[in-house]
Structures are given as structure tokens and as C-alpha cells.
Amino acid sequence: MIRARAVCSSFVFVGTLAFVPGCGKDSTKADSNKKTADKGAVDKAPPDKGSADDKAPPTEAREWAWTLPKGLSEPPPVPAENPMTAAKVGLGHQLFMDKRLSGDGSRSCYSCHQNELGGADGRTLALGAGDKPLTRNTPTIWNVAYHQNGLYWDGRAPTLEKQMLGAWKGGNMGVGEDNLAAKAKEIGALPEYAPEFAVAFGLEPGAEVTPEHVAMAVSAYERTLLCGDTAFDKGEMDEAAQRGWDLFRGKASCSTCHAGDNLSDGAFHNVGTSHDASGALLADADVGQGKPSGAEENNYKFRTPTLRNVTKTAPYFHNGSVDDLTEVVRYMAAGGNAKAPGIDPNLRNTQLSEAEIADVVAFLGALECPGSLEVIGDQSVGGIPEGPIEAGPEAEPEPSPEAAN
Ligand code: HEC
Ligand code: HEC
């Protein structure tokens, strides 16, 4: 099997994207410990409109060339069923930005995954379509395609495609399972979209657009949201950040879990965030991975989040329970919540001084990436982002993995 990077690395296009046969496919899992230099800047993926090659044969026949920012050594894996093409990525980009996808027309995917907020929404807990309070904090959308052990804090969605369908029919976008097919058909029939779906998926004129088509396009776009080129990646950290990095992988042993290019081991850990300081279960405690895995020993475990852009994604943790990044670092460095039962054995009090904690925070600041999602259309949404609105008692329980939000 040819590894994508071996083929692609000689085709780096700064500021543009090109098709390279045999490139971007079969990419293996990110080899997260390698760092390569000499990569071009991350780029947006414009739809390749107007190119004759876009018509027949279907664009799936063509491949995608990755332009990797510094710090990401491999392109994210791409499922064989949904190969990358410029037409599909461009379509997915528009769909990601389109409020008409939501049940009440109030929200696009971008509404909760915004540039200024590091690809999240700045809220303690998300507020879905119809202003429905959701039960979790919004994670960043950056580098989301590198998470290979399941998406969402609890890992319940195995692929981006499944995640998209869940977010779309569930509370986030509020379309509802029963209305999904009709919604996809309606979107696909819009004059601005119909030709794009036809090109991206090789559809016959008049063929119905399905929810799966929409999910495939959006997922292809999400796979292009790469966060790199940070001060850390470019070797341009100041002294405090450099000291912080040494602590991070040394004395503070953060890299036990926050490892690899994306600063996540992709694994699930109980770091004590579902219990209070006395070790009692929080009233609104979320069982995390315990639910989709059906195994009690996974209760209160959440996937290690990436730390890229983390300075912008406050509040933190799956429940948005901590607003301040320094406080999060202090908590993690102290071994998490020592009283919480079942806490991960890799967490211990690493005895960091306040000055050392400040250095680790400075290091996290060196993980801000310069890229931004190209916004299309008016993305103002009443109520998002605003001061935290806690999910009240009327908040609906977490949907099952099948009806995932
Ligand atoms: C109302 C806010 C909101 C909207 C709208 C929204 N999301 Fe999210 N998104 C969230 C929240 C909250 C989570 C985490 C939920 C969980 O873990 O249970 C999430 C998680 C995700 C994840 C998984 C991230 C990870 O680290 O595992 C992806 C991918 C994602 N959203 C994409 C989308 C797409 C695509 C859309 C549009 C169809 C969308 N989101 C719309 C709030 C939102
Ligand atoms: C045992 C594995 C593990 C270790 C060690 C660890 N973390 Fe984490 N970290 C996690 C998990 C899991 C979460 C998410 C917990 C949750 O949401 O309830 C997390 C969350 C965070 C967050 C919040 C990110 C967000 O988007 O909400 C930051 C910041 C963070 N960790 C930094 C650190 C630092 C700094 C260290 C070292 C002092 C460290 N972590 C050590 C597993 C770990």
C-alpha cells in the first residue's frame, strides 16, 4: 500500500490545490510522532468549477492532493467509500455554512464551530436549533479527521459521515430522523446545489439527493480543516513556551495522553470531571464512553481532546465546567480530581509551581493555528455565542448512539 505522504510530498502547492493521481488515497493512520518540515501552507479547497474533467467520469475517479501545514506529518485517513475530490469538498464547504440545513433555519454547522472561537462556540454547553439546550460543550472542528477512535466526547460516532447525520437529525441541527430524507431532497433540489451534487456524486439529472450525499460532502470538507503552522510547529516558540513544552512532555507528563501531531492519543480517560472535589458524582454527571461502549468500566471516560487552538475554545471539558485555561492546567497538573473514583492511573500530582503552570499555558498558546474557515453567507445566529446558558432540568437526556445529536 502506498502511503499518501510518500506520493504527495512532492506535490506541494502553496495557495492552490491540484489533483494528483494516486495521491490522498490509502492514507494510513497518522504517524503521530513524526514531525516533518518543508510543508506548504494549509489551504482552503475551492470547488473546481468549470473544469471539463468535472463532468464525466464522476469526480470520484480523481484524487485529491493534500497541502499539509507544518506539524502534520500525514494527511488524515479517508474512507474508501468517500474519496476526496475538489467538487465534493467545495460542496461540503457550502453546506457546512448553510443555515437552511437546520430544522428551523437558525443554524449552520458553522454556528457552533466558529473561527473566532477556535472552531467551537464559546458556550458552556451548546444550544441547538430551536434554542434547545444540549448536554455537552462544543469541541473544536480543527483536525477533527485525525480522531480515529470515534467522534464526539464519548466516541459514539465511528466516522465523520455518521457524526454528520447524527448532528443533522439530532438536537444540534434539529431536523429529526423522519424529516431527514425530505430535507436532503429539498436542499439537493435547490438550483444552486443541484448541479454541484450531480458533479460531486455523478448523479443523473433529476436524481434524488440523499442524506448520505450531504454527509459525504460535509465530511470531505471537514477532512480539509487542518490546524498546523503554529509557533510550535515552526519552531518559533518563545522561552516561556519552550519551557512549557519541556514540562509538558517531561515533569508534567501531559504527553502521556496529549500525544502526537494532534496532541491527543485518541483514547478515553476518566480525569475526574464527572465528580466534585469530595468525590461525589455530579448531579448532571455524564457517563461518557460508558454509554456507547455499554461497559461500566468506561463510565466517565472522555476522549483526550486536541490542544490545538485550545486558547480560543473556552470553556473547557466535556461539560464546559472550567472557564479558565490556567485553571485547567493547574487541575490536570495536580493529577485531576484525586477523590474521583476510577480516575486514570496516569494522572498524578506532578507538583508544578505556579511559574511552571504559566509556562505550560504559554506552550498551549504556541498551538494556535493561523488558518481560518472561509465563511460563506451571514452566520449571525441569535443566542450563539453568548453567556453560558446551563442546560436546565427541562434539557432532554443524551440521545442514544443511534439518534446521536
Ligand atoms: C448547536 C451547536 C452545534 C451545531 C449546530 C453543530 N455542532 Fe458539531 N458539535 C456540537 C457539540 C456540542 C458537539 C459534541 C457533542 C458530544 O460530544 O456529544 C459537537 C461535535 C461535533 C463533531 C465531533 C468533534 C469531535 O471532536 O469528536 C463534529 C465533527 C461536528 N460536531 C461537526 C458538525 C457538523 C458537520 C455540523 C452541521 C451538520 C455540526 N457539527 C453542527 C455542537 C454543534
Ligand atoms: C490521563 C490522560 C491525560 C493526561 C495525563 C492529561 N490530560 Fe488533559 N485531558 C484529558 C482528557 C480525557 C480530557 C477531557 C476531559 C473531559 O472533558 O472531561 C482532557 C482535557 C484537557 C484540557 C481541556 C481541553 C478542552 O478542549 O476542553 C486541557 C487544556 C488539558 N487537558 C491539558 C492538559 C495538560 C496541560 C496536562 C498535563 C499537565 C494534561 N492535560 C494531562 C486527558 C489527559
What residue spans define the domains of the chain? 239-365
- Residues 6 or more apart from 380 whose CB is under 8 A from it? none
Which amino acid residue places its CA nearest to atom 22 of ligand 1?
152
Cα-to-centroid distance, 371 and ligand 1 (Å) = 19
Cα-to-centroid distance, 304 and ligand 2 (Å) = 6
Write down the CATH number for the domain with range 239-365: 1.10.760.10
| Ligand 1 atom closest to the CA of 121, numbered from 1 | 2
Give the separation between CA 370 and CA 230, rounded to whole angstroms.
7
Dihedral sign (CA 123, 169, 43, 148)? positive
Average pLDDT per block of 10 residues along the chain, 405 residues long: 32 33 33 33 35 39 80 95 95 96 92 88 89 93 95 96 96 94 96 95 92 98 97 98 98 97 97 95 95 96 98 96 97 94 94 98 97 86 52 37 38
* Alpha helices for 106-260 (secondary structure H): 160-169, 180-189, 194-201, 211-222, 239-249
Which amino acid residue places its CA nearest to atom 33 of ligand 1?
109
Cα-to-centroid distance, 290 and ligand 1 (Å) = 20
E-assigned strands of 13-76?
Answer: none
342: alpha, beta or left? (left if phi > 0; alpha if psi -120 to 50): left
3-class SS at 191? Answer: coil
- Residues 6 or more apart from 345 whose CB is under 8 A from it? none
Cα-to-centroid distance, 270 and ligand 2 (Å) = 10
Cα-to-centroid distance, 394 and ligand 2 (Å) = 30
| Ligand 2 atom closest to the CA of 346, numbered from 1 | 1
Residues with Cβ within 6 A of ligand 1?
107, 109, 111-113, 121, 126-128, 134, 136, 138-139, 141, 144, 147, 151-153, 160, 163-164, 167-168, 172-173, 218, 222
3-state DSSP of 300-311: CEEECCCCCCHH
The number of residues in the chain equals 405
Write down the pTM of the prediction: 0.84
Instruction: Determine how many CB atoms are found less than 10 A away from the CB of residue 354.
Output: 9
